[in-house]
Structure 1
Amino acid sequence: MNILQINSSVRGAASESSRVASSIAAKFAAAYPGAQIKVRDLGAQPHPVLDETALGALFTPAESRTAEQSARVALDDALIAEIQAADVVVIAAPMYNFGVPVQLKAWFDAIARAGVTFRYTETGPEGLLKGKKVFVATARGGIYPADADPLVPHVRMLLNFLGMTDNTFVYSSGLAMGPEAAAKGQAEADAAVASLV
């Protein structure tokens, strides 16, 4: 089993979303002897954002690309290869200003490639990253009811679009609402992780 862990927090060792994601990955690794965990830390090593230069490289036929364009596309290719090889994907997605960090958005932009990880059909788009179990560990300072959560619907839409429809969210909430609320949110996240496998 290949487990891919994507950390996107810029808080390093202090990141709650990364802590929970690591717990999920470790739990699966313990349950499946021989499992391999690959960690990509986008907070420590951000992937370049999708800009005009990158878009130009992607839309240039491979045989016509400059060395610089080929190198830029290769960066995205590496992320796509990782997600294609993964059986379990664990994403640490903290909430920054009611959305995902730019580092995580850049990752989604890199792995969403028409004809590779999704395709357009006569009946609409079809995700090609099927058969993967995805866990999203999200940490947030406040508490958001399910019908007013600004982050989860967006991340779930991206995952579903790419074919990763088996996705589960684990929440650490209330982290900025005082020590008692933070401890409660962390305990709830830990209890959710304990019940996963």
Structure 2
Amino acid sequence: MKIVIINYGAGNIQSIKFAIKRLGYNAVLSNDVEEIKNADKVIFPGVGEASSAMHKLRFSGLDKLIPTLKQPVLGICLGMQLMCHSSEEGNTKGLSIFDVAVVKFSSSVKVPQIGWNQITNLKSKLFEGVTEKEHIYLVHSFYAPLCNETIAECSYGINYSAALQKDNFYGTQFHPEKSSNVGEKILENFLSL
């Protein structure tokens, strides 16, 4: 199985690569359009700020490629947010895969949300074998509100989308690569889709 982690300069890519290695697979880091197109599974990571990350995607032409991919694609953290139609962070136009706008947490909660939280309302093969209220690891100031594509929720002042899915596209606001055994199970489920 060929697993490609999109390498566009926004990232937590090494920790994802190590997490996949622990599952017994090798992942390639690449921004090559043909290599990404020919992968069996694609992981779209992201750490950083939305508008500069989108600028990097546009610069490399990956903004045009990602929405056309037919194999399973997993966006992680900022990667998931960039798959939405827009983000308040830097007033950014996203890839419009998920039909939801990313917004900032209100001032009534401490931002960024850093640390462990529980996921609930799990609705996808991505969460097979994962029980309700398992703990996952998050670091973020912006979130995707609940929508038709929500497949898991978290609560932080309000309930929001911890994960999204549309067709072959999946996104997690949390970091499965940093979420211990639960995250490992979710990555394993993604690789077996």
Give the TM-score range, shorter chain.
Answer: 0.3 to 0.5
Query: Which structure carries more relative contact order (alpha carbon 8 Å, separation 6+)?
Result: 1
TM-score (norm 2): 0.42
The structure where helix makes up a greater share of residues is 1
The structure where strand makes up a greater share of residues is 2
TM-score (norm 1): 0.41
